[in-house]
Amino acid sequence: MGKVEPNQEFQGLICEGANVLPLKFLEDAFRDGYGKIVNIRHLDQVIKSINGWYYERGLSGLVSYAEILSGGILRLQVSEAEVNNIVIQFLDRRTGEPTTGKTRPETILQQLTTKKGQVYSRLQGKRDVETILTMGIMEDVTIIPQPTGDPRKVDLVMNLVERPSGGFSAGGGISYGITNGPLAGLIGSFAYSHRNVFGRNQKLNFSLERGQIDSIFRIKYTDPWIEGDNKRTSRAIMIQNSRTPSLVHGNIVSARGGLTIARVTAGIEYSRPFRPKWSGTLGLIFQHAGARDDRGNPIIRDIYNSPLTASGNGYDDMLIAKFEGVYTDSGDHSSSTFVFNMEQGLPVLPEWLCFNRVSARARQGYEIGPARLVLSVSGGHVIGNFPPHEAFAIGGINSVRGYEEGAVGSGRSYMVGSGEISFRMFGPVEGVLFADYGNDLGSGPTVRGDPAGARGKPGNGRGFGAGIRVDSPLGPLRLEYGFNDKLARRFHFGVGYRN
């Protein structure tokens, strides 16, 4: 511990080397000892409490020396291990020997909260390891402290084992469009992904999804953190060609086949956190969209002679400025969540559509003994000249269960409320009781051609029922059986949480 002469009164403290130890902690530790003879046992307890403060916070620091100077001044020497250097080292995934990595070291260093000159924190290092693993480009990450010539400094060696950068994948899913037949709603998918473009953790994905009616081809490039930006801004560029059923117009236009909406979309989005628990997205998207028959030919009116485009042409062009704000209380699905979206059509050219569309949804979860209650509400409104197929569609697994997709109604405005009680049954299986209500707020007839009124949709509806959910790597698998207020019954199957 050092030199401590007996029978001296404690008159003051000199603490050297404690750069992160709070002054108030030291003052509180020694307050009762001022003017009193130094008690060796009490001093030992104080030193242990200082060492404990560092240990509890995962910091490398301890009291290395203590002595009483003339005049009753206590001198403490604290040794804190500062980070001298961070070395990135790649290891071969088969042999474990050092190798040349594909990832740029600056891409890794950008992710670390541990920086040169900081007191080394084991807890902070552990969080940095988890952060690097969540990038999706590493199989294994370890941090090993190494001594330097200076006992007050430490080098950190980060050993990285990279995953293969690219690969093909295939799978399946569920489409919530209105389809018929024994394989209704099932889609297959095929994709190629490169997880580490240019060694900068940038992602490039080519994907194709194909169903009984649906087809989506998408190219997406994502930079999760733009280099040189200290706000963690991400950038995504997307090009997509899709053909999906219209939930607003149903899927029967003639005896020959079904009505689908063909869209060619291209856009860029920037996202970043801007407050604790809040994140935002700004984007600019161009869309070329129109209705097609089963042969892929453009059509401008449905079987009820209602228009299918806003312009009266075979397609509509839109340049859309987008804003989205998201609040999430925590990562748990039953926590508080609020999402606000606004889209503004920009009439840069005279034939491009001008409209404003806003929507919001909120969810709040409550723990009630062994059960969990989740209440959610969503709504939206659109003004201006917009395509009829872009109206808010109500009904279905993510809206009012017990109804087919879009069967309650479609309008310029809408509101949907839902309540769910879930409870663990066994293993990964949960039971669920639910009740839903949706309303187009009387706005169905204001949609061009009144597609909901032409199809006899009620404009409001209620549903209730029960189901089970099974945890899976893709998210919860949902099988639900719903009744609606028209006494109709319907099974719903989906993957993931409700939107």
Please report the domains of the chain, with CATH numbers, ordered by start residue: 12-80 (3.10.20.310), 82-162 (3.10.20.310), 246-495 (2.40.160.50)
Q: Which residue has the higher pLDDT, 468 or 332?
A: 468
Closest of 340, 332, 346 to residue 374, by C-alpha: 332
Distances (CA, A) of 373 to 364, 483, 495: 8, 20, 20
Structure tokens at 498: 């409700």
Q: Which residue has the higher pLDDT, 185 or 63?
A: 63
DSSP, residue by residue, 448-480: TT-HHHHTT--SEEEEEEEEEEE--TTS-EEEE
pTM for the full predicted model: 0.85
Taking residues 439-466, what's their average pLDDT? 96
Using DSSP, state whether 335 is helix, strand or coil: coil
Least confident of 239-248, 269-278, 293-302: 293-302
Output the pLDDT for position 250.
75
Closest of 231, 52, 19 to residue 118, by C-alpha: 19
pLDDT surpassing 90 at residue 324: yes
Taking residues 175-204, what's their average pLDDT? 77
pLDDT tens-digit readout, 9-51: 888 899 999 999 999 998 888 888 888 887 788 889 999 999 9
pLDDT surpassing 80 at residue 183: no
Closest of 361, 466, 459 to residue 417, by C-alpha: 361
The Cα–Cα gap between 420 and 376 comes to 9
pLDDT surpassing 50 at residue 257: no
Q: Which residue has the higher pLDDT, 5 or 450?
A: 450
pLDDT tens-digit readout, 66-90: 888 888 888 999 999 999 999 999 9
The Cα–Cα gap between 464 and 490 comes to 11
The Cα–Cα gap between 388 and 302 comes to 11
